[in-house]
């Protein structure tokens, strides 16, 4: 491969790593960093690929930033390319959480981006919402700002509710009428979505007890809202237990790690069954297709994450443990410091990556997966040397494929273990199977043309 092609592949994979792993939040070893420069660099030099990353499992922040960058600079590309970007943007908006989209649309308003194409994208997204009256209640200010800026035609009662809600004596739309009554009738609060009811209840702190409110609104909570409530320690008796069968794998792992270790031990069977079921859902048709797999999982002290991302690296490692167990036909895992039941893992100790990688390679697996933030410090550099010797002397033919999955963003890239092993960023274990496909481009094992063809295939499937 020519140097220019290798550089292009490295640039694109570095950007994808950032778009997957970086959330703009503080990490264990550093503060939050700005991704603006990296987005600008890739958009200017590889715009078609920049747009194509919307078809990948990049995180919501990355997707929203890509969409904003494309809409801000739409005049820089010809009409056919603009249309393709518009289709990608519209498809990705449908997959983003509505609160993220409304935040993005308000940013477009603040930036004065109000051309015909942008208005059409916004109009189509709002028209595709399953219940715009529900949005009017839950995202009232955001929808009002978007509707005013883009001159949207909304159902008459929704428009009235957004801009002059006190005028009607009664709404025919049930949720709008419930919302109107909830300003005066305490019982109507419990017919509203939890987040809306909580906002209205906060204005009545003297008349509504917090525990009473949570018990009354419990049937209206989503599983994610129950999960957040239980993780915050604010749950009360009568709210009901979280339905673990409906929680995605990495979120479930985060919930498990937030439990005290004695409770994890007491609920071992229930939590293990739930994690394995979530892993099977995440693996899908890939279950059992990865052959003989060995994993090295980082549970060192740095896996505790930061104040805003508590235990996130460890949660990804725990989720990957259960996912790899499903993906493989034969599986062996090694934690850096923990032994025994993986449910009881906790962040502690140094990072002896080299020693654990050597132990795993002695088994000569078909695939080795290392899940770590990449800070090899016991002793420093040992992992890089083990991987160099393995790749150059012991397995030059590459019978064992090795990939490093890093859940932590560091500067403008994820920290690597060795130039002989590709490193890719991962935010949720569910995305790992697709991200491992990108590893071969990071390792220089495929050309830039092949990378573009790979992304084009993903885009076509995404748009279908």
Distance CA 153, CA 226 (A): 35
Tokens standing for 142? 């955001």
Q: Where in the chain is the domain with CATH 3.40.50?
A: 251-442
Dihedral sign for Cα atoms in the order 83, 456, 2, 440: positive
Q: Which residue has the higher pLDDT, 414 or 308?
A: 414
Where does 53-97 have alpha helices with state H? 60-72, 79-93
User: Which residue is listed with tokens 């140094």?
Assistant: 350
Q: What is the pLDDT of residue 36?
A: 82
Tell me the pLDDT of the chain averaged across its residues.
Answer: 87
Distance CA 207, CA 186 (A): 9
Question: Would you give the DSSP letter of residue 414?
Answer: P
Query: Does the domain at residues 251-442 carry the CATH identifier 3.40.50?
Result: yes
CA nearest neighbour of 405 among 326, 325, 330, 316 = 316
Question: Would you give the DSSP letter of residue 416?
Answer: P
Q: DSSP E strands: which ranges in 320-385?
A: 330-335, 367-371
Tens digits of residue pLDDT in 399-437: 999 999 998 876 666 788 998 998 888 888 998 887 887
CA nearest neighbour of 258 among 282, 228, 293, 238 = 228
Helix (H) or strand (E) holding 423: strand 423-425
Tens digits of residue pLDDT in 41-77: 999 999 999 999 999 888 898 999 999 999 999 999 9
Q: Are 414 and 426 in contact (CB under 8 A)?
A: no
Distance CA 412, CA 134 (A): 40
Q: Which residues of 280-303 are buried (b: 16+ CB within 10 A; e: fewer)?
A: eebbeeebeebebbbbbbbbbebb
State the pTM of this model.
0.81
Helices and strands in the chain: count of H runs, count of E runs? 22, 5
**Above 70 in pLDDT, residue 391?**
yes
Cα dihedral 424/428/430/431 (nearest 10): -30
Q: Label residue 28 by pLDDT band (50, 70, 90).
A: very low
Question: Would you give the DSSP letter of residue 413?
Answer: B
Residue count of the chain, please give it: 464
């Amino acid at each position: 491969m020519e140097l220019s092609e290798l550089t292009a592949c490295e640039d694109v994979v570095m950007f994808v790593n950032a778009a997957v792993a970086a959330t703009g939040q503080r990490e264990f070893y550093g503060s939050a960093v700005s991704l603006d420069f990296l987005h600008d660099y890739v958009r200017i030099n590889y715009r078609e690929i920049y747009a194509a990353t919307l078809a990948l499992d990049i995180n919501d922040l990355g997707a929203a930033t890509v969409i904003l960058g494309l809409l801000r600079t739409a005049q820089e590309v010809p009409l056919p390319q603009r249309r393709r970007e518009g289709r990608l943007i519209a498809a990705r908006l449908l997959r983003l959480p509505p609160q993220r989209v409304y935040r993005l649309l308000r940013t477009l308003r603040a930036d004065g981006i109000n051309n015909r194409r942008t208005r059409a994208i916004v109009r189509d997204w709002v028209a595709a919402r399953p219940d715009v009256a529900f949005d009017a209640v839950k995202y009232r200010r955001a929808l009002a700002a978007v509707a005013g800026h883009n001159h949207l035609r909304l159902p008459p009662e929704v428009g009235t509710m957004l801009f002059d809600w006190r005028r009607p004596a009664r709404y025919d739309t049930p949720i709008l009428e419930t919302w109107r009554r909830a300003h005066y009738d305490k019982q109507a609060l419990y017919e509203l979505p939890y987040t809306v009811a909580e906002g209205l209840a906060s204005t009545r702190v003297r008349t509504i007890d917090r525990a009473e409110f949570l018990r009354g609104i419990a049937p209206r909570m989503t599983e994610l809202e129950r999960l957040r409530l239980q993780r915050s320690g604010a749950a009360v008796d009568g709210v009901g237990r979280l339905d673990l069968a409906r929680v995605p794998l990495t979120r479930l792992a985060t919930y498990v790690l937030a439990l005290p270790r004695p409770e994890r031990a007491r609920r071992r069977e229930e939590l293990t069954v739930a994690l394995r079921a979530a892993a099977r859902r995440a693996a899908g048709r890939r279950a059992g297709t990865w052959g003989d797999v060995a994993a090295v999982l980082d549970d060192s002290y740095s896996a505790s994450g930061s104040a805003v991302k508590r235990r996130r690296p460890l949660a990804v490692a725990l989720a990957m443990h259960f996912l790899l167990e499903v993906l493989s036909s034969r599986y062996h895992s090694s934690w850096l410091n923990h032994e025994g039941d993986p449910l009881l893992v906790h962040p502690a100790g140094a990072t002896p990556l080299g020693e654990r990688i050597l132990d795993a390679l002695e088994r000569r697996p078909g695939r080795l997966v290392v899940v770590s933030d990449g800070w090899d410090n016991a002793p420093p550099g040992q992992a890089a040397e083990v991987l160099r010797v393995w790749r150059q002397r012991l397995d030059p033919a590459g019978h064992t494929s090795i990939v490093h999955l890093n859940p932590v963003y560091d500067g403008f890239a994820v920290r690597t273990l060795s130039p002989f092993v590709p490193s890719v960023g991962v935010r949720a274990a569910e995305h790992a199977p697709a991200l491992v496909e990108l590893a071969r481009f990071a390792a220089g094992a495929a050309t830039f043309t092949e990378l573009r063809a790979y992304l084009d295939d993903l885009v076509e499937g995404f748009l279908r």
